[in-house]
């Protein structure tokens, strides 16, 4: 029965993406790409969750992060000492800030090193190139999607700073939707400690493709290779001038990058990919006026990681306290019915469409709604302590939670873009609710696919 409900739910979520489409005349042309992307999502979900190969990949990633978290713990313990183990044997557990959030500092430092030595640009290059062949959109959208998953929803726009004034509204929506639908590598270790690693990895992959499905229906447009080349050429003068100064590659959080391709030997001139590489790997002097050393870069990434950890901690304190306050107010006014109970009932029909049994829908809807109105970490911490959900419901809810689709992300993305380009920042703010709507549908589609194969 859950398979029938899941199929119906998947159709409903696709229709919800299609209904407010900005250009329905293009939808027929986009349907083959949507079908291809859906097929890829099902294959990825089956491989990651139902095969030995997928299990090995997940175990390998999980083991690697477990080891990294142990190394991060050594640094945290040196500073905080026995505070790391206070309450470890109690119901509340060890301090969340120290055991879950502080490792973000170390992971951020590793990302900086991988960026500095050129590993991340290679990953973005080849994954972005692969995506551009199957999504029916431009190369800019493909590389941005991969970069968003590695760099984060605000930092990724720094990598396309020189292009922002020239990006049309439709493409800007896609870039922002990809950023909101993914999560950053720096906080991946925290997620793995809160929910099952296999659902974290599966959700990241599914959301990467799911974002293209939703924007193809909600925000359809066509991009030619010539238009991509013209957009990248908009920054050519800056790139050329910077290269003539002879500085090294960009490093540091404010210059995070997606790098790609090579020259076209047959044509004897740079390809579109080569232009992308040159544009996004500007010398530091072109943006900051000086070249960064390795240790300058490392210090910036470490401090950025610490800021992220403290920011997440502050959000958790504020949001959890506000939810507790609202629960108390609602409970007093409505004879024991809490605010989260109300949210659960509102979201229960949508939860049912993902394949969750009806008797668990209200409970599952609470976590989904909590994630939307607060953030995913708040919802994950509450899900971790839940023992009344079946394994399939836990799988569906866990998958839904792995994204940045919440109200606060509208401000984060709009603010990040506005700091780089005021006009584009205002444009992002104007379609903020539409952006959240699309990114939430991405989460529902990914969760439904996991429900169908669970």
pLDDT attached to residue 351: 96
The arithmetic mean of pLDDT across residues 181-188, rounded, is: 85
**pLDDT interval class at 258 (50, 70, 90):** very low
Task: Say what the pLDDT of residue 79 is.
Answer: 92
**φ, ψ dihedrals at 217, nearest 5°:** -95, -45
The mean per-residue pLDDT over the stretch 201-209 comes to 95
Q: For the chain, what percent of residues have pLDDT higher than 90? A: 45
| pLDDT digit string, tens, across residues 321-350 | 888 899 999 999 998 899 989 999 999 999
65-114 residue pLDDT tens: 889 988 998 999 999 988 887 766 565 667 888 888 888 889 889 988 98
Question: What's the confidence (pLDDT) of residue 163?
Answer: 83
**What b/e sequence results for 278-309 when a residue is b if at least 16 CB atoms lie within 10 Å of its CB, and e otherwise?**
bbbbbbbbbbeeebbeeeebbebbbebbeebb
Question: What mean pLDDT is predicted for residues 34-38?
Answer: 96
Closest Cα partner for 287 from 244, 238, 232?
A: 238
Across residues 351-359, what is the average pLDDT? 96
Q: Which range, of 126-130, 270-274, 294-298, 444-448, averages the lowest pLDDT?
A: 270-274
pLDDT at 287: 42
Round to whole Å and give the CA distance between 423 and 430: 11
Cβ–Cβ under 8 Å, residues 130 and 260: no
Confidence at residue 108, expressed as pLDDT on a 0 to 100 scale? 86
15-30 mean pLDDT: 91
pLDDT at residue number 252? 40
Query: Which residues lie across from 264 on neighbouring strands?
Result: 269
pLDDT digits (tens, 9 = 90+) for 103-154: 888 988 998 898 888 888 888 878 888 898 899 888 889 988 988 888 778 7
Name the least confident of 61-70, 169-178, 226-235. 226-235
391, 50 Cβ separation under 8 angstroms:
no
- DSSP per-residue letters across 79-108: HHGGGGGTTTTSSS-S-HIIIIITHHHHHH
**Best CA proximity match to 37, nearest among 427, 451, 449, 372:** 449
pLDDT digits (tens, 9 = 90+) for 241-250: 444 544 444 4
Environment class of 409 (CB within 10 Å of its CB; exposed 0-12, middle 13-18, buried 19+):
buried
Q: Which pLDDT value is given to residue 87?
A: 66
List 269's β-bridge partners, or say none: 264
What tokens appear for 208 in the block?
């990467």
Query: What pLDDT score does 213 carry?
Result: 96
Residues 338, 340, 345: CA angle, nearest 5 degrees: 100
- Which pTM was predicted? 0.83
Higher pLDDT, 108 or 270: 108
Does residue 180 have a pLDDT over 90? yes
Ramachandran bin of 356, using left for φ above 0, alpha for ψ from -120 to 50, beta for the remaining angles = beta
């Amino acid at each position: 029965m859950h398979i029938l409900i899941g199929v119906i739910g998947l159709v409903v979520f696709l229709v919800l993406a299609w209904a407010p489409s900005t250009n329905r005349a293009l939808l027929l042309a986009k349907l083959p790409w949507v079908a291809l992307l859906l097929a890829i999502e099902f294959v990825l979900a089956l491989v990651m969750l139902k095969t030995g190969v997928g299990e090995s990949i997940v175990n390998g990633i999980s083991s690697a992060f477990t080891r990294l978290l142990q190394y991060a713990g050594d640094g945290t313990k040196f500073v905080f000492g026995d505070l790391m183990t206070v309450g470890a044997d109690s119901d509340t557990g060890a301090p969340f800030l120290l055991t879950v959030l502080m490792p973000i500092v170390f992971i951020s430092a590793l990302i900086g090193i991988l960026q500095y030595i050129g590993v991340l640009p290679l990953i973005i290059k080849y994954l972005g190139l692969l995506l551009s062949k199957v999504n029916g959109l431009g190369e800019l959208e493909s590389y941005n999607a991969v970069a968003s998953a590695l760099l984060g929803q605000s930092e990724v726009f720094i990598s396309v700073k020189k292009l922002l004034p020239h990006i049309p509204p439709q493409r800007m929506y896609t870039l922002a939707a990809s950023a909101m639908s993914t999560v950053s590598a720096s906080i991946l270790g925290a997620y793995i400690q809160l929910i099952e690693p296999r659902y974290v990895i599966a959700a990241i992959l599914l959301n990467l493709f799911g974002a293209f499905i939703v924007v193809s229906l909600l925000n359809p447009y066509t991009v030619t290779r010539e238009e991509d080349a013209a957009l990248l050429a908009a920054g050519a003068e800056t790139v050329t001038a910077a290269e003539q100064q002879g500085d090294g590659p960009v490093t540091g959080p404010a210059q995070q990058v997606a790098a790609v391709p090579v020259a076209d030997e047959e044509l004897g001139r740079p390809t579109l990919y080569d232009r992308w590489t040159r544009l996004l790997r500007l010398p530091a002097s072109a943006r900051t006026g000086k070249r960064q050393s390795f240790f300058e870069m490392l210090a910036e990434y470490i401090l950025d990681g610490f800021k992220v950890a403290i920011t997440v901690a502050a959000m958790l304190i504020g949001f959890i306290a506000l939810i507790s306050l609202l629960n108390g107010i609602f409970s007093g006014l409505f004879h024991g019915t809490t605010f989260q109970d109300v949210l659960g009932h509102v979201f229960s029909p949508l939860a049912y469409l993902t394949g969750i049994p009806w008797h668990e829908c209200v409970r599952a809807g609470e976590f989904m709604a909590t994630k939307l109105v607060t953030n995913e970490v708040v919802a994950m911490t509450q899900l971790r302590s839940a023992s009344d959900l079946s394994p399939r419901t836990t799988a569906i809810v866990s998958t839904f939670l792995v994204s940045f689709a919440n109200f606060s992300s509208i401000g984060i993305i709009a603010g990040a873009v506005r700091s780089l380009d005021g006009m584009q920042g205002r444009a992002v703010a104007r379609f903020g609710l539409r952006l959240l709507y699309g990114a939430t549908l991405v989460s529902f589609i990914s969760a439904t696919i996991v429900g169908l194969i669970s």
